[in-house]
Structure 1
Amino acid sequence: MSNRNYTKPVHPQSIQIELVTPERYKEAAELMAYGFGHKFQHSSSLSISDLSSTFEQLLIHEPRQTHSLRVVTLENNTVTGTLGLKWKAAEGVDSVKRTNLKWWKACSQHIGYGKLMRILAGIQFLKHEPFAGECYIEDLVVHPTYQGKGLAKRLLDWAQHYMLHSSASLSYLSLHVARNNEHAIQLYERVHFHKKNCTRSLLTGMLLGEQYWYYMTRKGEYSIETEQA
């Protein structure tokens, strides 16, 4: 993963959080590949570059949804983090993202059908269909140079603010995290996420090297204003 333009220190006032746009797809895809890379490499032996290309094509070709979004953080006009959210589709709206044929062709030509099928299987096993009122965090990735500097918390606070003020009647945030990812669990607990249950999946163990997952939630009464008071 490239470290270009990531040498300056983080200044909170200079960090922007924006909806991802096509010109940011490549940088966002690089971060997604970094975040998921060790999982997919467990089963597919894909390079980070191959994964980045796959995620970039997914961002380009997947159908836009009214019940999901992706944002990026910008520092000096460079993408330093990304966050994906989704919630239950409104009645009568299809909640399934249909894989675009152009994406399939582009990715299979680049990495081959076998590896692509393993990636699709891994993505499918990581999917979670939200319940009514649930705002689910699909992924949160911060560039390694910016880790430990509060950027993940900024993204989580943004997600909380969006959830509280959304017109979709959302009442809590949720996410899944690998049980052995103690650093991430500590971060989530510091910002009021609580463990609800722990599930085991032999399939994700085989495909992604992770069998045990905590499901964590953060209720809507914790507002950013309350935390900063």
Structure 2
Amino acid sequence: MGTTDRIGDLPPPYREVVFDCDSTLSTIEGIDELAGGLAAELAELTDRAMSGELPLEAIFGARLERVRPTRAGVEALGQRYVETLLPGARELFAALGAAGVGVRIVSGGLALAVRHVGRELGLAAERVHAVELDFDEHGNYAGFDATTPLACAGGKPRLLNALGLARPAALVGDGATDLEAAVAGAVDRFVAFGGVVARDAVHSAAAVRSNATDLRGLAPLLLSEAQREALASGPHAWAGR
């Protein structure tokens, strides 16, 4: 039995939809943006982890130790995330909310930066889940929350289960950590997203895939026909098409 055979898929409607951040809502990978002259080296490690070649815990803390991001740098990254949101992100989040669907961001990115995305997309702070950093009194890097499941392989499904998602629920993401959540049954539909980068190992294992470069293209995968018809007038009319 292949991985795809183990991934259940339940079509919409959903009570909650979860999004990854890096290379899903935004076109960038945050840690690579912070890396400066180390960017090429760390980008290779990031890609290998997100493709499932390396366990996340093998690189997560090591990347941060190499980069040692400052508070100011991570705040600037948050603004960069907002500047590089995919087209249609705001509209899709608004349509999901109008349809009564709860939305979360669950990311292995840095919480201080990812919260900028949540605010831009209208999410309450408690619906944004990412990795917390520690800084000293001068704003210099002083470590990360090593207890977070988001910094290790298999951690995303553990966190999703701990959150007690309202089911049925869907997850949209590009990486191996997102695929793990689907294999573990932590969500009812996994959309392997390739609108920024299509990772072969993830796409080949997923039952549902999208290479949409405008996130409004995900609406048929996340909203039922009845929900889309109900949105067919007013500011969300595009969802009903």
TM beyond 0.5: no
TM-score w.r.t. the length of structure 1 is 0.31
More strand by share: 1
User: TM-score when scaled to structure 2?
Assistant: 0.30
Structure possessing the higher relative contact order (Cα contacts under 8 Å, 6 or more residues apart): 2
